[in-house]
Amino acid sequence: MRADLSGGATHDVVVVGAGVAGALLAKRLTTAGLRVLVLEAGPETPWSFEGYARHLDSFFAATSKGAESAWPPAVGAPQPDSRDVRSGDGYFVQRGPQPYGSTYTRAQGGSTLHWLGVSLRMLPEDFALRSRYGVGRDWPLDYQTLEPYYRQAELEIGVAADVADQTYHGIEFAPGYDYPMQRIPQSYSDLTLAAAVDGMETTIGDSPISVRIRSYPAARNSIPRNGFRPVGAVDARTDGQALARDLGQRCAGNTACTPICPIQAKYNAGKSLAQADRSRLQVLAQAVASKILVDAGSGLVQGVEYKRYDDPRSARHAVHVARARVYVLAAHAVENAKLMLASGLLGTSGMVGRNLMDHPSIYGWGLAPTPVGAFRGPQSTSGIDDARSGAFRSQHAAFRVDIGNDGWRATTGAPDTTVTEAVNQGLYGVELLTHLRTRLSRQVRFSLNVEQLASPDNRVTIDPQFIDPLGNPRPVIHYDIDDYSLAGMAAAKRFYQAVFARAGIDDRSDPATGVWFPTVTYEGEEFHYHGMGHFAGTHIMGDDSSTSVVDVDQRSWEHRNLFLVGSGSFPSMGTSNPTLTLAALALRTADQLETGLRG
């Protein structure tokens, strides 16, 4: 359907971006009786399960099975790709000094199409980093203010966890609360590791740490609590059905959270769109927002110009304008900043695009002394959270450990590379099979995700030299990793080595033979780091318009009918992945919008 909305406001709210933040807003606002138009830059993700399943074949057939392999981009909405980090010639213009290692997906559903599903709350102390540790920035709100929205977000995206596991480092839950679903069972690998290392005492800086292998909250369907109905696969039909009645209501262990859950047992933003009041919702895919039109006098937004393309393989497009009473940018931390800059909306603080963060992370991989059942189950089911808090945070970064269930897939390209290496060594027949049997099932992988503070020098800019096929600017990225994070990285390395040693895991971490990752040097030691896809900080939130882009409600200081939502609003990210927190913030903003627009 082609909509010409240039004649005036036919919607209450225009939302740019059909990722998790935009979809949650669309669901919440349409259910409250408001009319919402969602502009999605990328292709539509099929509303039918049959259409979705075709993306699975793209993954099966792809030589490189990275996060993007199931979700090829459109010409009109290019996206960063993991392979570009090495070649340096992708969608991002990498200005260094270090390459930014993360990617995202521009399609209906956004990066939730291929996220792992980790749904950690931030620690209460993460909201007050400056006050508590003298580093980074404080948030303009505290954990207690966000707590009710964390609960709502856990319900909306369907999080499986047990409060009994998640009450640590000051995290508190409302009395009587537990997650909508029981925790996802921990893997045999987790349980084996826990038997070997739980209770192990070590130190990070001067802080004593007692190690525990801990289940983490995951947006994957599990056994429901208290009458909660798990939301399965999106499967819209002409009879009005939006969601499959039975499919995808339990994780079945496909070991493919990234890049595609074959049965949609893991949350993706399409589920929230499917649950919106569809009579009040219009989702326009292949519509790339290109400029925010602002009244020079009042600063109010008057429309969003967008470029609509019919063919994902072509740059041919037509230009339209969407109008509403309120505008929400939910396009992604980088895309939100890029759109503001492309519209000349630099703000008085000069902070648009600045303070770009990630979790620069290192891998440790090894062989367990006995088979642990690698390559089974969700790609991870447990982590180590003990180094997320401690007095050392005044000196160096905290970190969180993700423990893999998928062998050395991410670090060496296993199991394929394990096979080719053995075959090239001359193994065949029974000898080859025996070799693989004794190796593959014992593969263990840790990813150690290191905190990064907001720095104005890490930023997204635009440059008229660098445009995409639709004539929109490509993000120009300036990125470095400071000593605070590097010292945390060094501590993380010592930590995993100690845990491996305790568990009898033979450390096989050898970046020279593993997958290529960019390097950084600290105190003479070289680290190979990867991005976690955890973009944050590009439209930072604060209580002072001279130092932030949005206020505590994610509302632009200069343009009062414009909201910028997502992890771009984060003043700090701590050690949790941003999805649950940005979902909670989006729901809080939805409350403000609902009150404002209906009042």
Partner 1 sequence: MASTYLDELDALLPASLLDRILNAYSATTDQPGDEHLKAILDDPDLGPIARNIIVMWFCGTWTALPAEWRSRNDAAEDSTHVVSPAAYQAGLQWVAAGAHPAGARQQGFGAWSTEPPGTTS
Given the rule CB under 8 A, which residues bind partner 1?
A: 56-57, 59-63, 65, 185-188, 191, 222, 250-256, 260, 262-263, 370-378, 381, 405-407, 409, 415-416, 418-420, 423-424, 426, 428-429, 432-433, 436-438, 440-441
Residue of 567, 569, 549, 568 whose CA lies nearest to 558: 549
In three-state secondary structure terms, 428 is coil
- State which residue, 114 or 151, has the beta carbon closest to partner 1: 114
- State which residue, 186 or 577, has the beta carbon closest to partner 1: 186
- State which residue, 72 or 299, has the beta carbon closest to partner 1: 72
DSSP character for 122?
Answer: P
Find the shortest distance in angstroms from Cβ 420 to partner 1: 6
Instruction: Report the run of H or E that residue 196 belongs to, with start and end.
Output: helix 188-197
Tell me: cis bond preceding 72? Omega within 30 of 0 counts: no
Find the shortest distance in angstroms from Cβ 419 to partner 1: 5
- State which residue, 66 or 148, has the beta carbon closest to partner 1: 66
Find the shortest distance in angstroms from Cβ 226 to partner 1: 19
CA–CA dist 574, 582 (Å, integer): 13
- Please say whether the beta carbons of 38 and 19 come within 8 A: no
Find the shortest distance in angstroms from Cβ 150 to partner 1: 26
Q: What share of the chain is helix, strand, coil (3-state, %, to 5)?
A: 25, 20, 55
Find the shortest distance in angstroms from Cβ 189 to partner 1: 8
In three-state secondary structure terms, 57 is helix
Other C-beta atoms within 10 Å of 138: how many? 17
Residue ranges with strand state E in 480-545: 506-507, 519-522, 525-528
- State which residue, 3 or 62, has the beta carbon closest to partner 1: 62
Q: Which amino acid is at 154?
A: E
CA–CA dist 404, 299 (Å, integer): 49
Find the shortest distance in angstroms from Cβ 248 to partner 1: 11
Other C-beta atoms within 10 Å of 528: how many? 18
| Beta strand pairing call for 207-210 and 213-215 | unpaired
- Please say whether the beta carbons of 286 and 76 come within 8 A: yes
- State which residue, 177 or 516, has the beta carbon closest to partner 1: 516
- State which residue, 439 or 478, has the beta carbon closest to partner 1: 439
Other C-beta atoms within 10 Å of 234: how many? 27
CA–CA dist 544, 407 (Å, integer): 47
The length of the chain in residues reads 599
Q: Dig out the tokens for 212 from the structure.
A: 């525990």
- Please say whether the beta carbons of 224 and 230 come within 8 A: yes
- State which residue, 98 or 189, has the beta carbon closest to partner 1: 189
- State which residue, 61 or 155, has the beta carbon closest to partner 1: 61
Find the shortest distance in angstroms from Cβ 58 to partner 1: 9
Query: 35: which strand partners?
Result: none
- State which residue, 124 or 378, has the beta carbon closest to partner 1: 378
- State which residue, 254 or 547, has the beta carbon closest to partner 1: 254
Find the shortest distance in angstroms from Cβ 378 to partner 1: 7
Find the shortest distance in angstroms from Cβ 481 to partner 1: 31
Find the shortest distance in angstroms from Cβ 443 to partner 1: 9
Find the shortest distance in angstroms from Cβ 564 to partner 1: 35
Query: 445: which strand partners?
Result: 365
Buried (b) or exposed (e) across 426-449, using 16+ Cβ within 10 A? ebeeeeeeebbeebbbbbbbbbbb
Considering only CA atoms, give the Rg of the chain: 23
Find the shortest distance in angstroms from Cβ 408 to partner 1: 11
Q: Dig out the tokens for 565 from the structure.
A: 């939502």
- Please say whether the beta carbons of 71 and 55 come within 8 A: yes
Q: Dig out the tokens for 599 from the structure.
A: 């009042």
- State which residue, 377 or 475, has the beta carbon closest to partner 1: 377
Q: Dig out the tokens for 64 from the structure.
A: 């490189």
- State which residue, 381 or 556, has the beta carbon closest to partner 1: 381
- Please say whether the beta carbons of 574 and 451 come within 8 A: yes
Find the shortest distance in angstroms from Cβ 285 to partner 1: 25
For the chain, the first-to-last Cα distance in angstroms comes to 32
Other C-beta atoms within 10 Å of 563: how many? 29
